[in-house]
Amino acid sequence: MLGLPVVLIGAGREVVEVSVARFGSARAPGGATEPWFEAELVLAVNVPPDSGSRAISRLGVALTLGWELPATAGGARRIDYYRAEAECVALETGRANVRFYLPPELVKRDQLRGTPKLWAVDLTVAGRAIPSAKANQAAALADGSARRSFLSTAAAAAASNAGLLLPQYLTPFAGEYPRATPSFVRRETLGHTPVRAGP
């Protein structure tokens, strides 16, 4: 287990890392013809026997993307930034797949294909950051200073694209891949007051 990020919680050590990051396209169920962009993060989870728990609770997964877009006539290339987060209820030892999506309108408009030029995954347990491992970002961000610069730029720039990169449960793919998809903490309904019909 050398090289994996370790978080000390209680008497044990919980180890989580991104073992594989896959980027591609996927057509939504129901006969959709236009593809979505899909980012699949395969998490390797290890809960040591002496941790006093059978699972890691409240594992946060944040994905930040930096897409380099073709230059417009007379212009220069630019990078569009996207960020989204999801929080797993609890993960036992094994594998879990966390997916994020960009809608087909963006895929078509910006010709989003293949792997983004820049990307990074941030993991937290109960709000505490897990140190980044090599597989948690694009090769261009392997240097710590490059990663920090990317995330700093993205933190400000991604605000203009808020709500476009979506966790799986907020997309038409919510019911897909049931065997490997964990349950998520859902906060979008917190504080919502149902609208009652009039008499």
Give the confidence band of 190 by pLDDT, cuts at 50, 70, 90: low
Q: What's the predicted TM-score (pTM) here?
A: 0.84
The predicted model gives 103-132 an average pLDDT of 90
The predicted model gives 6-20 an average pLDDT of 62
Give the confidence band of 4 by pLDDT, cuts at 50, 70, 90: very low
Task: Give the pLDDT confidence score for residue 10 in this predicted structure.
Answer: 37
Task: Give the pLDDT confidence score for residue 194 in this predicted structure.
Answer: 47
Higher confidence at residue 95 or residue 32? 95
Higher confidence at residue 1 or residue 49? 49
Q: What percent of the chain has pLDDT over 70?
A: 86
Task: Give the pLDDT confidence score for residue 78 in this predicted structure.
Answer: 85
Task: Give the pLDDT confidence score for residue 108 in this predicted structure.
Answer: 92
Alpha-carbon span 36 to 32, nearest angstrom: 10
Torsion sign, CA atoms 127, 93, 136, 104: negative
The pLDDT mean for the chain works out to: 84
Other CB atoms within 10 A of residue 57 CB: 15
Other CB atoms within 10 A of residue 158 CB: 20
Q: Which ranges of the chain does DSSP label H, i.e. alpha helix?
A: 104-110, 144-157
Q: How far apart are the first and last CA of the chain?
A: 63
| Residue 192: pLDDT over 70 | no
pLDDT tens, 168-183?
Answer: 999 999 999 988 899 9
Task: Give the pLDDT confidence score for residue 11 in this predicted structure.
Answer: 36
pLDDT tens, 38-75?
Answer: 999 999 998 888 777 888 889 999 999 999 887 777 67
pLDDT tens, 126-150?
Answer: 888 888 788 899 999 988 899 999 9
